[in-house]
Structure formats: C-alpha cells, structure tokens
Amino acid sequence: MNRPKSHNITAFWLFIAMVFVVSTTEVHAQSARSRAMGGAFIGLSNDESATYYNPAGLSQIQGREASFQSKVNETDIFNWKSAAFTGHIYEDGEEDRFSITDYLEHNVLEEPLPRKPKYSYGVAYSTGDLSEKYGTLVNNPGVSRKTQEFQLAFGTRFPIARKMLAREQLFAGLKLNYAKNETKYAKTVKSRETMSIGAGFMYHYNDRITGGFTIDNILQTVDASNGENPNKDDAIFSIGAAMKVTEGTTISADIVNLADSKDVAERQLRVGVEKTFVENDLTMRMGSHNGTLTLGFGMALLPNVRMDYAYYDGDEVAEHYVGAHMTFD
C-alpha cells in the first residue's frame, strides 16, 4: 500500500536533482585560466587543469605546478574553491654508456635538453556549496546542495625513436575521480557518492596544432541514499583541439559529451582564445561555454607566480573567480 508513495518521493528527488544539474555551473577542479577560455581545454591541457580536463596533458608540463582558485562574489549564494598540484616521476639513472642523445646535447646543441619525466601526476580537490538562496533562484525554494570532488591523474608519453631525438607526439593518461553530492530539502538529506575511472589522449600534429580525446566513466561505482539516483552514469566521450595561430595567440575548441548522454548533461560546445602580451607578463582570455560568455586575464607577479581572473556570465549569478598559480623547478 505504501509503494506508490515511495515511488512519488523518489520521483520528486530525481526531479530536484535534474533541475539542479541543469541549472548549476560546473564545480570541478578547473583553473581560472581554463574558465576564462570557456572551459575549452581538452586539446590544450598544458597546466594543472589537465588533472580534470585531460590527464594526458600532464606530460606536457615542465617542472611542478600548484594552484588555488576561489569564487569571490556572492558566496552566500554559490561558493566554490579548488586546489591542484602536479609533479613528475623521472626515470632511474642510466648506466654509463654511449648515447647519441647525450653526444648531440653536449657537443652540438647550444642548450641541454630538459630532463623528461617517465610519468607525470596531478592531484586536485574542489568543493562547491549551492545555498537555499540559489535554490530559490532556480525555482527550488528550500533546496541546497554541497559537492566535493577529488581527482588523481597520471600521464605519460609514447616516444618514437626517443634516443634519436625524435619528437614525442602521442600522450596518454588515466584519471581516478571521487565525487560526493549532498542535496538537502527541509530536514531530509540525500547523498550520492561515485568512484569512476576515465582516460585521455593527446596528439601533437606539429608545433602549432594539438588534439585531445577523453572518455569519462569507463568504470563507475555508485553509493546512493534517500532516493538519490542509484544508477551508473553513461560513459562520456569528448574531443578538443588547440591551434597556435601566431606567436602568443592560441585558440581552442571542445565538443563535450559527443554521444549526448542524457544521464549526465547535454552536449556542449566550448571555444576559447588566449593572447599573451608584454613578454608573457600579461595574458588576455575570452571564450564561450556552450553559449555563455567567459572573460579573464593572467598577470605575472613574479617569474614563478601568476595571478588569474575569470568571469562567467551565469544565468542566475554572474561569477567572478580569482586564482594563484605557482611553478617550481
């Protein structure tokens, strides 16, 4: 006799979840730089945001990087913070033997070649808080949502004739993702925790053009309670490309969710452009996140410290983000 009522409650919670997913911006571990470029980063992924966008891009990074990002306006409605770090695992020292690479490096080339890692890794954590005020803005009064996400990613390169200084062209990576969503309505709290594995690939066509391909939710486990969606999400296939138009100017474009899986989000088109001025001390950025305008800039405060700003013209809340980016080694 109580089954219809139970089904109605479940349907209600599923409806609430769907509205919040459609109405909210992404709270993943993105940098202010990638946000300002409309999130078009799959084919670029050359900073710590590769941990989220495309783990294969981690192998492009020289040295180590760390960043912290935060939304700085109307945090009582929508609050968001993120931190990320990247590093490398280098090959063991080789035996004392003749190497054509070492010979050319020390006898022909003007500058030594940079030490190349065998594997690269990235760690990222983000948290988002959508308050009841936000729920009211999207016609869901009394509803709030908190999100936490942790990512661990690894990347490597597939060199061709690496001892002959041939150019590495293909990169691959693997990403482990943990996410926890808690939705609160009145005194009821429902939660959904997921663990998933994703993969990414990058190809350097030449010095100006790169492409990327990612698959999310290859494997996934779900732990849901109180009527939250217990089903596994569909796999998400996405592609992207980046092109250096001129020295200091890069454009990028992504198509996210190629198969248009309705379980996660609709298919998205993202485009972005980045222009560097004043010997890399100032960078201007602009993009479109599936039709939503994004703007931003980056400014070098010190040789190894950069400040980034991003603006996202959200439908409900105009979002301003500030980030600090540091490089080591």
DSSP string over 27-73 = -SS--HHHHHTTT--TTT--STTHHHH-GGGGGG--SEEEEEEEE-S
Task: State the CATH number of the domain containing residue 243.
Answer: 2.40.160.40
Which residues are within 8 A (CB) of 42 and not within 5 positions of it... i.e. 6 or more apart?
A: 53, 54, 200, 212, 213, 214, 238, 239, 240, 254, 256
Q: What is the pLDDT along the chain (329 residues), one digit of tens a residue?
A: 444 444 444 444 444 444 444 444 455 557 899 999 999 999 999 999 999 999 999 998 988 999 999 999 999 999 999 999 999 988 765 545 555 655 555 555 555 555 667 899 999 999 999 999 998 988 888 899 999 999 999 999 876 445 444 456 889 999 999 999 999 988 888 999 999 999 999 999 988 999 999 999 999 999 988 777 888 889 999 999 999 999 899 999 999 999 887 766 789 999 999 999 877 789 999 999 999 999 999 999 998 999 999 999 988 889 999 999 999 87
Q: 12: domain range?
A: 3-328
The number of distinct structural domains making up the chain is 1
pTM (2 d.p.): 0.82
